[in-house]
Structure 1
Amino acid sequence: MNAWLISALLLFPSALIYPKCPAALVTLPIKALTDNPQKSPVDRLVEKAAQQFMAAPQAVGLSVGIYKDGQTYVYNYGTLQKDRQQLPTSQTLYAIASISMTMTGALLAQAVVEKKVTLGDDIRTYLPSHYPNLSFDGQPIRLFHLINHRSGLPFLLPDRPDAFANTTLSSSAIATALLQNYTQTDFFADLRKVKLDAAPGYTFRYSNVGAQLLGYILERVYKMPFEELVRVKITQPLTMNDTKITLDPADQARMANGYDCNGVQMPNAPNQLQGACALKSTVADMLKFIQWNVAEQDKAAKLSHQPTWGDENRYSAGLNWQMLNVAGHRVIWQDGNIPGFSSLCVNYPDLDMGIVILSNECDRKTAFRMTTLANQLMQALDERAVALPN
C-alpha cells in the first residue's frame, strides 16, 4: 500500500478515545424505523445502504443528508433514545465532534480573507504573554499547524494521559471530570508547561488543544467569544440557526441521546473544548454547510480547502479538511467521533455533490460503517466520485 494512502487511513482519529466493547452477538437484522418514502431512485439507494448500517446490533439512530445538483434529500432511521421509539428528524441535534474543527478552520480562513492574520503567523503573536516553549530549534508553531494537527501540542489540556488509563469510566466522563471548572486562565497556565519534542509542521499528532487554542486566538483577534464568532461569521450568514455549543431547554429537547456499543448513554462532551469538538448541529444545517463548501464561491471556503500539508495531487490536509485528488476529481471530508456520537461530512466540489451522516452511537466500527455508507451512496449517484479510504 502506498505511504500516502496509509497516512490517509491513519489521520484525524476520534476526539476522545472509545470505550471497550465486547464482541457483538449475531442477531437477525430487524428493519429500522424510517421516514424514507422509498419512491425515488435516491430514496431506494439510501434505504438499502442505511438499513445495512442500522442492521448492526449496536445501532441506535441515524440521519442522512444528501446534496446533489442543487437538490437536498434528508432521511432518518432508528430512534433518539433507546427506551422509546422516537424517530430523528431534520431538526434533531447531534454532537458533530471533530467536524467542529472544520468550522474553526473556516473562521481562520475568514480572518485571513479579512487580513487580520496570515496562516503562517507565529501563534505567540496572539498569546497573552511570553511563551518561549512554543517553538523548537527556532521554529515556532504557526496558525495553520493548530488546525492540521502538526503543532506538536498534546491531545488535551490538562495533559493527563494517565487519567484515561481508568477503564471503568468512559473517556467522555474522564474528560468532563478533568475539565470541571477548568478555565481559560488554567489552559494558558498549562500551555506554558508544554514541551515540544520536534519542530512543528512535520509530524502528525492529533490535538484537541490545537483547535481549542486557535479558538482562543480568534477570540482575541476579533474581541468576541468563540460561540458568538461562529454565529456571526458562519451560522448566521448560512442560516444555520441550530448549530451551536450552548443549548437552551428547547434545544435540549431536540438533542439525541448518545450511546456506546453496550447501549450505555454517554455524558455530553465538555463545552470548554469549543472549536475542537463541542458544536452540535442538525442534518438540515449541515446540508447548508455542505452547499457552502461544495460551491467554493466564498473566499474563506476555498481557502479552507487549500493544502497546508501533503501532496495536492494525492492526499493532503487543509484547514482540518482531509482531501484526496484522484484523476482530477477531489473529495474533501472530515469525520467526528466522541463517546455517544459519530458524524461524517463529505464534499465533492467538482461534482456538485455532498453527504452528511449523523449517528447517536459510537464504537470502534461506527466510522468504518459510516464511510462504507457514504461510499455506497456517492458512487451510486456519480461513478466519478472518489471513494473515501476505509
Structure 2
Amino acid sequence: MKSKLIYILFIICISGCKKATTKNDTELAQEIQNNPVEVSMDTNAANFLKDSSVTALSIGIYKDDKTYIKHYGEIDRSKGNPPNDKTLFEIASITKTLTGTLAAQAVLDGELNLDDDIRKYLDGDYKNLEYEGQPILIKHILTHTASLPSNNKGINELSRKNEDSLSFKFAEVEGKYSKDLYFNYLKEITLDTVPGTRYRYSNLGANLMGHILETTYEKSFSTLLDEFVFKKAGMTNTKMNLNEEEHSRLANGYDDKGNQMPHFPMPIKLWGAAGALKSSMPDLIKYMQFQLDNSNAVVQESHKKIYQENDDEWVGYFWRVDENKEGAFYHHHGGMFGANTYFYVYPEYKMGIAVTTNVGGGRAASVLGEVADGLVDDLKPFGEKSISRAISNVCFEDVDKGIQYYHQLKKENPNGYNFSNENELNVLGYRLLRKGKIKAAIKVFTLLVAEFPEASNPYDSLGEGYFEDKNYELSLLNYKKSLVLNPENDNAKMMIERINNISTK
C-alpha cells in the first residue's frame, strides 16, 4: 500500500525538482521511494489534505545542500489549479525575521545600538514611551517586550467581536491607515509595565522598527530589503507591493470555512515591516540558505538570544529561538486572513523547512504545524523523536491504550523521545479536540497536567477541554490554577469571565 500511495502522490503533485528526460515514470517513482525527504513530504502532505478545511500545500526543504520543493492540492476548491513555483503567498509575520535581519545589519554597521532609547529616532515629544523612568529600547522592540499594543488603533477593538466579517473590517482599517495616524496613536499609548520585563507580541512595534531603519539609513524600507537581503540571497520573487502580473500569481486566500478572504491592502501605507511581504517557495528556500550561512556575520547577529522566556525558549531579532540538547533552532509563524506559513532553520541539522497554505485561521495553522513537526521528526539526523507522533495513532483509536503506551515508552526508552517538552502532549490533545474527541482530549490534557504540574499552560488546556465538554465547574477550576501559576495569562482571565457570565445566566 505504501508504494502505491507514494506513486500516486508523485503523479498528482507538482515537484520543484526537474524531471530527467532519460528516466521513465517508474524509475522516478522508485527514486522517490528511496528518498526519505520525498517520502516524508508526500506522507505529511497526504495527512494534511485529509483535513476538510484546507485544499493546498507547498513544502520547501533545504537539507545537506540539496533543495526539495513540492506543491499539493488546489488553490481554489474544485478549480484544479495547484500551486507551483511561481505562486506567491502572503508570508505575513515571516516578514519580521527579515526586519530583524536588517536591524542586525544596522547594529553591525554602527547605525543602531540594542540599548538605544527608541525616542532617539522619533521626531517630537514622546514622554509617554517610558514606564517609571525606564524607556523603550531597541532590543525591547525586537523581542516584543516593549509593552506596546499588539496592533494599530482600531484593530484590537475589532478583535473582541466574533463576526465572520472581521477580516474584511481589519483590511478596511489597515487600508485607511497612514503614518500620521500611526504616530498620533503612538503619542496616545500609556505603558503598563517596565519595558523588557514581559513578552507581548506587537505588530505595531515591528512597524516602528521599519521607521527606525528608514531613519538610520535614510532609505526606504523596501530599498533596504532589496539591498541587504534580496540581492544577497538571490531572492527575485519576494515583494511588498505587486504589479498586475505579480498579483495574478498571488494565491487567493480562504478561511477554514471556505470563504474567500481579503489580501493585505496594497499599496502598503506604513512600512510593511510587521507582515506585508509576499513570496514564492523557491525564494523562501533561498532565504533559508541565507539564514543557514554560518559565515554571514549579519545572520549570526540576528540569531543572538536577547530575551529569555523560559529555560529553553528565547527571542532574538524577532526570531523565536529554541534550544535543547541538540542545539538551537530558529523559527517563526506567519498568519494572515487567508494564509499560514511556518519557517524553520536548523543549523545543527544543516536543514531548513518552510510550509505554507492559502488558508488562514487557527485550525489551518494547527494542521500545518503538524506538517512542519512531522517533517522535522522524520528528517532530523539525530536526537529525540516526537512522543506525540509516536502515540498519536494509538490515542485516536483508544486513548487509554495510547496513554498506557506513553508510560511504556517513557519507562523503556526515556532518552529516545521528547518527554521534556510540554508542547508534545498539548499538541496531541488539541488534535483530538479539533476532531471532536473531547473526552479523549481531556484525558491527554490530564496526563499533561500530571507530567507538568508546575506549568501554567497545561491547566489552561485542560480548562478548555472541560469547557468544550460543558463541564464549567472543572473548567473554571483549571483556568484559575493556570492563572495562579501565570498571572499574565490573559486567555485564562477571559475564559474565567466568560464562564462566570454563563453561570449567572
So what's the TM-score if we normalise by structure 2? 0.68
- Structure 1 unaligned segments of length 5 or more: list them: 1-29
- Structure 2 unaligned segments of length 5 or more: list them: 1-7, 16-27, 387-420, 428-505
> Residues 303-318 of structure 1: matches in 2 within 5 Å?
303-310=301-308, 314-318=312-316
The one-character-per-residue Cα deviations of 1:161-183 (angstroms, maximum 9, x if unpaired) are 32334433444322222233321
> Residues 68-217 of structure 1: matches in 2 within 5 Å?
68-217=63-212
> Which of 259, 282, 292 matches 1:284?
282
> Does the C-alpha gap of structure 1 residues 258 and 311 become closer, same or farther in structure 2, counting only changes over 3 Å?
closer
Aligned to 1:367: 365
> Which of 254, 259, 264 matches 1:264?
259
> Residues 245-260 of structure 1: matches in 2 within 5 Å?
245-260=240-255
Contact 1:65–1:356, Cα closer than 8 Å, also in 2: yes
Aligned to 2:379: 381
Overall identity of the aligned pairs, in %: 31
In the alignment, the residues of structure 2 paired with residue 313 and residue 85 of structure 1 have an alpha-carbon distance, to the nearest angstrom, of 47
In the alignment, the residues of structure 2 paired with residue 385 and residue 237 of structure 1 have an alpha-carbon distance, to the nearest angstrom, of 33
In the alignment, the residues of structure 2 paired with residue 160 and residue 68 of structure 1 have an alpha-carbon distance, to the nearest angstrom, of 40
Aligned to 2:409: none
Deviation at 1:385, TM superposition (A): 5.6
Q: Which amino acid aligns with 2:210?
A: G
Aligned to 2:473: none
> Does the C-alpha gap of structure 1 residues 385 and 328 become closer, same or farther in structure 2, counting only changes over 3 Å?
closer
Aligned to 2:350: 352
Aligned to 1:17: none
Q: Secondary structure at the match of 1:192?
A: helix
1:57 aligns with 2:52: yes
Please report the RMSD computed on the Cα atoms of aligned residues, expressed in angstroms: 2.1
The one-character-per-residue Cα deviations of 1:108-138 (angstroms, maximum 9, x if unpaired) are 0010011101112110000111211001111
Determine which structure has greater relative contact order: mean sequence separation of CA pairs < 8 Å that are 6+ residues apart, divided by chain length. 1
Aligned to 1:25: none
Deviation at 1:289, TM superposition (A): 0.9
Deviation at 1:48, TM superposition (A): 0.8
Q: Which amino acid aligns with 1:122?
A: D
1:294 aligns with 2:292: yes
Contact 2:175–2:269, Cα closer than 8 Å, also in 1: no
Q: Which amino acid aligns with 2:250?
A: M
Q: Which amino acid aligns with 1:113?
A: L
Contact 1:331–1:385, Cα closer than 8 Å, also in 2: no
In the alignment, the residues of structure 2 paired with residue 127 and residue 83 of structure 1 have an alpha-carbon distance, to the nearest angstrom, of 51
Q: Say which is worse superposed, 133-142 or 177-186, in terms of deviation.
A: 177-186
Q: Which has the larger radius of gyration?
A: 2
Contact 1:316–1:322, Cα closer than 8 Å, also in 2: yes
Deviation at 1:379, TM superposition (A): 2.3
Q: Say which is worse superposed, 60-69 or 376-385, in terms of deviation.
A: 376-385
So what's the TM-score if we normalise by structure 1? 0.87
Higher helix share: 2
In the alignment, the residues of structure 2 paired with residue 157 and residue 327 of structure 1 have an alpha-carbon distance, to the nearest angstrom, of 39
Deviation at 1:160, TM superposition (A): 4.8
In the alignment, the residues of structure 1 paired with residue 232 and residue 290 of structure 2 have an alpha-carbon distance, to the nearest angstrom, of 10
Deviation at 1:70, TM superposition (A): 0.5
In the alignment, the residues of structure 2 paired with residue 367 and residue 211 of structure 1 have an alpha-carbon distance, to the nearest angstrom, of 22
The one-character-per-residue Cα deviations of 1:254-288 (angstroms, maximum 9, x if unpaired) are 11111001101100123346011111111100111
> Which of 298, 321, 344 matches 1:323?
321
Aligned to 1:343: 341
> Does the C-alpha gap of structure 1 residues 182 and 385 become closer, same or farther in structure 2, counting only changes over 3 Å?
farther
Deviation at 1:159, TM superposition (A): 4.4
Deviation at 1:157, TM superposition (A): 1.7
In the alignment, the residues of structure 1 paired with residue 281 and residue 383 of structure 2 have an alpha-carbon distance, to the nearest angstrom, of 21
